[in-house]
Amino acid sequence: MSASNCDILIQGGGPVGLACAAWTLQKFPDAKITLLDRNPISDDDLANADSRGIALSHGSKLLLDTINAWPKESAQIHRVHVSQAGRFGRALMTREELNQDALGHIIRYRDIHITLRRALRAIQAKSPNFVWRHIDKEVTENNIHAQCIVHAEGGLFKTQDWIESGRDYGQSALVGLVEVENAAPHQAWERFTAEGPLAVLPSHYGPNILNLVWCGSPESSQHRLQLDDADFLGDLQNEFGSRIGRFLKIQDRRLYELGLNYRKEITKDNEVWIGNAAQTLHPVAGQGLNLGLRDAYLLAEKLVGVFSGSGEDQFPANIQNALQSYAQSRKIDRTTTIGLTDFMARVFTSNLAPVVLARGLALSALQWLPPVKTALARQMMFGRR
Ligand SMILES: Cc1cc2nc3c(=O)[nH]c(=O)nc-3n(C[C@H](O)[C@H](O)[C@H](O)COP(=O)(O)OP(=O)(O)OC[C@H]3O[C@@H](n4cnc5c(N)ncnc54)[C@H](O)[C@@H]3O)c2cc1C
């Protein structure tokens, strides 16, 4: 099939675009899809790419399992300990309370990306009308005619060429891999410091090698990026305390600017936006990719319905109706996840005395009101349908 004429054009070969293509083709192998991908053809060229640890929920695992796209190297979270540096209020969430095998899983971004590429290649072998086109960075293809355009161009806050609604939190995240003396296996720590959340999360390298996500002002984060290892580890120890012993080593430090950027409308005529192309979130609640995967999964169901003729909205008349109904079906999950993340990002970065007090009370309430804790954890694990 010619790449210049297709039913569905997916722009963006990140995790969300790949997953959307894979779920659509898995259910409808004859789908005429063209995927435009700015990443290199060979997985080897991604080996040194983005290694930040991403928290995926159990709900995302269930979705990715359906296309055989669960990475081999992942670390389970069994307990999450939440606290405030130098203030009262703490909460502990455990997998037993929620009756789950794990509260979440930590996986490197590049492993999620590469595993999805492999899963899609396996599905591609049985999909005669699927075209996967690798294009150079900065190239924009505008000679492709498609019935439906799926935007999955993703991007990070401040690198996106669109800004709609949102908030600049004036924060950056410094991520890296840190070695400590004595961590409890499968435990995640989220600590709210004067400058923002500091998360120490398990990794598949073993109990004492942990993923660090340290949010702070852009200036402090830049300063921390440049510190020599010993000074960096000293500062980190001061902020985190001694719960997991001494911080011994840091590697692979990277910086990301953080903010909220989201589209009020995620469809227009025959176009639809999913994943970070629809909403870019602060990582405080670890929700961005989880939400993006749910976008991709539900959109794939709609697209299959339209283009295979099996759904209510059949092509060609009702592509717009189908996209509108998709947007409607995503409303509650999107609004809740964006709202909850924005709330956490603001509340947990404020130093105003009443907010600090309320935050301590909220953490204590979470600890002592199991139904509230369970409801919050369930929202984070499965989203809202
Ligand atoms: C520090 C940090 C920590 C995070 N932690 C978590 C977490 O714990 N849990 C979680 O769920 N989420 C987390 N996130 C969010 C998560 O990384 C994103 O939500 C996720 O990467 C979005 O996937 P995506 O495919 O939509 O976009 P991307 O990952 O940005 O991928 C988009 C792809 O499209 C390509 N592209 C761009 N433009 C074009 C074009 N015109 N044509 C073709 N291709 C194009 C790009 O090259 C890229 O490969 C975190 C984010 C940050 C910054």
Across the chain, what does the average pLDDT equal?
Answer: 89
Q: Residue 83: is its pLDDT beyond 90?
A: no
Q: Which of 54, 57, 281 to mutate to test the pocket of ligand 1 (most atoms within 8 A of CB)?
A: 54
Q: How far is the CA of 338 from the centre of ligand 1 (A)?
A: 16
Ligand 1 centroid – CA 15 distance (Å): 7
Instruction: Report whether pLDDT(315) > 60.
Output: no
Question: 60-74: per-residue pLDDT in tens?
Answer: 999 999 999 999 999
Give the three-state DSSP class for 314.
Answer: coil
The per-residue b/e assignment along 92-102, b for 16 or more CB within 10 angstroms, e otherwise, is: ebbbeebebeb
CB-ligand 1 contact for 173 (6 Å cutoff): yes
Looking at residues 334-338, what average pLDDT do you find?
95
Number of Cβ atoms within 10 Å of the Cβ of 205: 13
Asked whether 39 lines ligand 1 (CB < 6 A), one says: yes
Residue 374: C-alpha distances to residues 80, 93, 99, 182, 381 (Å): 13, 9, 10, 29, 10
What is the reported pLDDT for 55? 93
CA–CA separation, 307 and 171 (whole Å): 43
Q: Answer yes or no: is the C-beta of 34 below 6 A from any ligand 1 atom.
A: no
* Better pLDDT: 360 or 219: 219
Residue 34 reports pLDDT greater than 80: yes
Please provide the size of the chain in residues: 385
Does any ligand 1 atom lie closer than 6 A to the CB of residue 259?
A: no
pLDDT more than 90, % of the chain: 68
Ligand 1 geometric centre to CA of 154 (Å): 5
288 CA to centre of ligand 1 in angstroms: 8
What is the predicted pLDDT for the residue at 368? 58
pLDDT at 43 over 80: yes
- pLDDT-based confidence at residue 372 (cuts at 50, 70, 90): low
pLDDT confidence of residue 223: 98
pLDDT of residue 311: 67
Residue 81 CA to residue 187 CA, distance in Å, equals: 8
Closest C-alpha residue for ligand 1 atom 48: 14
CATH number for the domain formed by residue range(s) 5-163+260-382: 3.50.50.60
Instruction: Look at residue 360 in the predicted model and tell me its pLDDT.
Output: 61
Per-residue exposure over 126-146, b if at least 16 CB sit within 10 Å of its own CB, e if not? ebebbbbeeeeeeeeeeebeb
Counting ligand 1 atoms within 8 A of each CB, the residue from 276, 294, 334, 380 with the most, and so the one to mutate, is: 276
Residue whose CA is closest, atom 27 of ligand 1? 154
Please give the pLDDT value at position 56.
Answer: 95
Per residue in 104-129, pLDDT tens?
A: 999 999 999 999 999 999 999 999 99
Per the CB < 8 A criterion, the answer to whether 230 and 167 are in contact is no
Distance 294 CA to ligand 1 centre (A): 14
Q: Is the pLDDT of residue 366 over 60?
A: no
Pick from 43-52, 69-78, 135-144, 365-374: least confident? 365-374
Contact 176 CB / ligand 1 (< 6 Å): no
- Check pLDDT > 90 for residue 281: yes
Give the pLDDT of residue 125. Answer: 97
Would you state the pLDDT for residue 36? 96
* pLDDT exceeds 80 at position 297: yes
Q: Ligand 1 atom 53: the closest Cα is on which residue?
A: 256
Give residue limits of the domains in the chain: 5-163+260-382
211-249 confidence digits (pLDDT tens): 999 999 999 999 999 999 999 999 999 999 999 999 999
Structure confidence at residue 363 (pLDDT): 55
Question: Do 190 and 197 form a contact (C-beta atoms < 8 A)?
Answer: yes
First vs last Cα of the chain: how many Å apart?
A: 36
Contact 326 CB / ligand 1 (< 6 Å): no
Residue 109 Cα to ligand 1 middle (Å): 9
pLDDT above 60 for 276: yes
pTM for this prediction: 0.93
Ligand 1 in contact with 196 (CB < 6 A)? no
